[in-house]
Structures are given as C-alpha cells and as structure tokens.
Amino acid sequence: MDNSGKKIVVVGGGIVGLATAYQLGKFQPHAQITVLEKEPTVGCHQTGNNSGVLHAGLYYQPGSAKARLAVKGVQEMIRFCQENAIAHEICGKLVVATDESEIDRLNNLYERGQKNGLLGLRKLNLEQMREIEPHIQGIAGIHVPQEGIVDYKQVCRVIADKITESGGKIVTSARVLRLESLTGDSWRIETSIGEFEADILVNCAGLYCDRISELAGEKREMRIIPFRGEYYKIKPERQFLVKNLIYPVPDPKFPFLGVHFTRLVTGGIEAGPNAVLAWAREGYRKSQVNLGDLYDVFSYPGFWQLFRKYWRTGVEELVRSFSKELFCQSLQKLVPEIRPEDLEVGGAGVRAQAIAPNGELVQDFHFISRRGAVHVLNAPSPAATASLAIGEEIAHYIIANT
Ligand SMILES: Cc1cc2nc3c(=O)[nH]c(=O)nc-3n(C[C@H](O)[C@H](O)[C@H](O)COP(=O)(O)OP(=O)(O)OC[C@H]3O[C@@H](n4cnc5c(N)ncnc54)[C@H](O)[C@@H]3O)c2cc1C
C-alpha cells in the first residue's frame, strides 16, 4: 500500500526503533518518519549496555520468531557492519558443559542449532576445546563459528545518520507523555518538548513498551519486569585467560544465558551478566529504587506466580550479586584459573523482560498490531542482533496493512 506522505512516529531510539525507522525509510521513501527518544542520545538503555554479541540463532525454538529473525538478522547485521565500516568480528563462540547433567541440554542445543540452519557447528571434547580456548574446563562443548562481537552503539549512530540523511527526523530529549487517538485514524502525541502528530505509531520503547501501549489504549496484559545484568571486567594482565566468547549451557526454563565471558570489540573482556530483579526499570545500580516501578512489579499477579516457581533461583542470584567470590565460582566452572582478584566491577544493563499473567517468562519476541499502531512488547536478546530483520518485518507489516 502507498504510505506516501504518511506520518510515521517511532517511540524509542534504541536499536529496534532505529532499525524500524531505517527500514521504513528504505521501503517507504516518501513517508515522513520521526523517531522520538526521551534521552539526549540514541541507544542509551538496553542497546548501549548489552554484551555486544552477534547471536547466530543457536538457542531458539525452531519456528519461533526469535529463531527466524536472529538467523536472518545476524546476516543482515554483519552485512550492514561490512558496508559501513562498523567494528565487528566473527570470532566464534564455545558453549561448554561442565558436568554430566548438562550433556543432554548441550545435545539439544546442537540439534536446535542444526534445525535453525546454523553452519559449521561442531561438537568438541576438552582437548579440541582447548585448541580454541586454552584455559577452559569442561567435559564437552559446541563451537559456533558464525557468532561474533560488535559495537551496537556504533551501529545505532550509523543507522541514525542514515535515517536523517534520507529525510527522517530523530528528536532526542522528547519523552512521550500522552497519546490520543484522533478520529480519522491519527495520533496526537504529547511529549516533554511539545506535540507531534502521526498517522502510524510504532512503539519500540523497550523497558517502557507496556506503558506506552497502555497510553495508546491497550490493556497491559503482559508486564515488563526489569532484570539487571551486572558485569565484571577482567584485569588487563589476566585477559589472556579468555580469547573470545565462552558460554555455559543455559537453563532452558529461563531466557537468560548464564554468566559468560565476552571479548568486547572495543577492547577488554567482560564476565557476566547475572540476572537480578531491578528495583527500577532503569535501575543500573543496586541502590536505585523507583517506587512506581516497584508497585508495577508487586501489584502484578504474574510476578507472584513467577516468584512462587523460581524464588529459590531469584534468591541465589541476589546473593551472588553481592558476592564477588560466588560470582567468581560460577566463572571458575568454565575457566578455573580465574580468581576474584582478577575481576573489577564493570557496568550493568537492565533487560526488559515481559511476563505473562500466568507467571511465564515470555521467551519469544512479541508484537501486536492494531489499526494505526504496532507495539513491540517483548524484544529481549537477541533483538540487537536481529534488529534489522525485526525492523524489516514491521515495515512490511505497515506497508501491507495501512
Ligand atoms: C545485559 C544485557 C545483555 C544483552 N546482550 C545482548 C547481546 O549480546 N546480543 C543481543 O543481540 N542482544 C543482547 N541484549 C538484548 C538487547 O540489548 C535488546 O534486545 C535490545 O537492545 C532491545 O532494543 P530496544 O530498542 O527494544 O530497547 P532499548 O535499547 O532499551 O531502547 C528503547 C528506547 O526507548 C526509549 N523510551 C522509553 N520510553 C520512552 C518514552 N516515553 N518516550 C521516548 N522514548 C522512550 C528509551 O530511552 C530507549 O532508548 C542484551 C540486553 C541486556 C540488558
């Protein structure tokens, strides 16, 4: 359908919002596209505080949106980085089983990866793993050669430049406060710096996506629960212990991958992230509390269902968050030579994880579409990797349906 001249407003200048605006601009060159971002720059939240890994699609349920969009998106992201001289490296990753109880899960991952079409996956024994990572410990592993590392902040800057070069607008320091659906199928958008109008609204507000959807008249059936992921940095003189990416076998009950080692494309090695309930949606430090955000968590029945099922894991994560020794013990399962004194406190990111009313951690990406609006309601990892494919899918949906 022809959206010539239509006003499309994307709420949120993280990588998903930017990639969506960019793809809309490519497929709808005459549309007037505006990205509204509440911060002074783009990519400040999940996108700017993640592990910087290009996930190739190993973990995801075959046939799910995550599997489809990660497998497609990683290729698009690599191509985009190559074409725009963005720092990245396809360095490969090892997923390591450290005891017998993990072998079945490791084999399941291998099968998932095969089904998702990953190339070059290899099952390795310890000797073979040590040819790749000489300091590793474990009883079996999978090598995933298609995975890599990238600087997602740089990706955001390049996408933002491309949006503006092709006539789109990125308006920063513009917090969306209210949305009014006007007769005649358009939106009045009240922000902290004035009013905007849109024919089509795209909600990519990350940690606030459920609240933006509510402002647009949706019922908040799913709720965003913020999970902080804390990192340590390995001191420079001990960085020889890790060459690239070393991951444990994740517990499939959770969407989090377990604390791992990640080489950063910008230099250095990080260990983490853990997953602890944050007391604020943008609570990057343990001390940050937002009473409204807390009310949102504790007043949601789905949270208590989740708590009933997994309170023990939650408490263990919380204790480990306060103990460098315990954090280090998790890392030592993969690299026994790492010591607490090798670790310096690093940064943190907060994941926007949607929880369903039955307490289920929503594993797959989740989008809803309405007349004149698309809401991205769950875009956790690997949404940075998959962002260009997510953006393309939303753009095609809008073109076909408006
Ligand atoms: C610790 C951690 C590690 C991760 N590691 C990886 C990884 O290695 N690889 C990978 O692919 N993915 C990873 N992820 C996931 C990935 O970072 C996210 O899936 C992705 O960044 C989501 O992008 P987004 O644009 O949806 O959200 P965000 O980047 O959070 O962007 C949302 C934007 O909306 C803006 N906003 C919110 N409310 C308003 C409002 N009212 N008005 C205007 N603007 C608003 C925010 O300021 C923000 O900039 C990780 C995430 C975390 C937290």
- pLDDT tier, 401 (very low <50, low <70, confident <90, very high otherwise): confident
Give, in order, the Cα–Cα distances in Å from 258 to each of 18, 155, 248, 318, 331: 28, 25, 6, 14, 10
Q: What is the DSSP string of 180-225?
A: EEETTTEEEEEETTEEEEESEEEE--GGGHHHHHHHTT----SEEE
pTM of the model: 0.97
| Residues 6 or more apart whose Cβ sits within 8 Å of residue 160 | 13, 18, 35, 42, 170
Separation of 240 CA from ligand 1 center, angstroms? 31
Judge if 7-47+153-221+363-401 and 223-361 fold alike in CATH terms.
no
Atom of ligand 1 nearest to the CA of 273: 1
Closest residue by CA, ligand 1 atom 31: 14
State mean pLDDT over 197-219.
97
Closest residue by CA, ligand 1 atom 13: 381
One-letter amino acid of 155: V
Tens digit of each residue's pLDDT (9 = 90 or more) over 331-352: 999 999 999 999 999 999 999 9
Q: Mean pLDDT score of the chain, rounded to an integer? A: 96
CATH for 7-47+153-221+363-401?
Answer: 3.50.50.60
Tens digit of each residue's pLDDT (9 = 90 or more) over 296-330: 999 999 999 999 999 999 999 999 999 999 999 99
Separation of 104 CA from ligand 1 center, angstroms? 32
| Pocket flag, ligand 1, residue 175 (CB < 6 Å) | yes
Tell me the two tokens of residue 246.
């070393």
Closest residue by CA, ligand 1 atom 3: 50
Instruction: State the Cα–Cα distance between residues 169 and 9, nearest whole angstrom.
Output: 9
For residue 399, pLDDT beyond 90: no
Tell me, which fold does domain 223-361 have in CATH?
D-Amino Acid Oxidase; Chain A, domain 2 (3.30.9)
- pLDDT tier, 185 (very low <50, low <70, confident <90, very high otherwise): confident
For residue 29, pLDDT beyond 90: no
Of 34, 45, 387, the residue with max ligand 1 atoms within 8 A of its CB, to mutate for a pocket test, comes to: 45
* Residue ranges of domains in the chain: 7-47+153-221+363-401, 93-144, 223-361
* Closest of 38, 10, 21, 20 to residue 200, by C-alpha: 10
Give, in order, the Cα–Cα distances in Å from 287 to each of 282, 290, 303, 360: 12, 10, 21, 27
| Structure confidence at residue 3 (pLDDT) | 56
Separation of 173 CA from ligand 1 center, angstroms? 17
| Structure confidence at residue 400 (pLDDT) | 86
